[in-house]
Amino acid sequence: MVSYRLLGVHPLAAVPFGFACGGLMHLFADWPNPLGVPWIAARHSLNLWTSGRCDLLVVGAAWVGAGLTVDHVWLHGALLHGTEGLRFLHAIKL
């Protein structure tokens, strides 16, 4: 949480933020699998799918989360605010 707050303020904050996001993504990707993730004394699993299935869902959610974070931290919500986002995209020639 501290590294998220420091994004855009301190350039080295991206390193611990990326490490934390990677750790969380690893947990979220393994939790639905039958093997699950270690949890204090035992393993916990949601048993939603087997490994190798639905990976596109997890990767897609990660990209959406990354895009929203970039929009919030560096673009100050420009892409999510209607015409302001369109003006931004036009300015960078997309």
Q: What is the pLDDT of residues 13-71, one digit of tens each?
A: 889 988 988 888 888 888 888 888 887 888 888 888 777 777 788 788 888 888 888 87
pLDDT at 77 > cutoff 80: no
* Whether 34 and 79 share a structural domain: no
* Whether 43 and 69 share a structural domain: no
* Whether 72 and 45 share a structural domain: no
* Whether 25 and 40 share a structural domain: yes
* Whether 63 and 93 share a structural domain: yes
Reading the block at residue 91, the tokens are 């300015």
**pLDDT for position 1:** 81
**pLDDT for position 88:** 62
**pLDDT for position 84:** 61
* Whether 62 and 92 share a structural domain: yes
Number of domains in the chain: 2
* Whether 21 and 3 share a structural domain: yes
* Whether 12 and 46 share a structural domain: yes
Helices assigned H by DSSP within 1-94: 2-6, 14-30, 55-73, 83-91
Q: Which domain holds residue 59?
A: 54-94
* Whether 44 and 65 share a structural domain: no
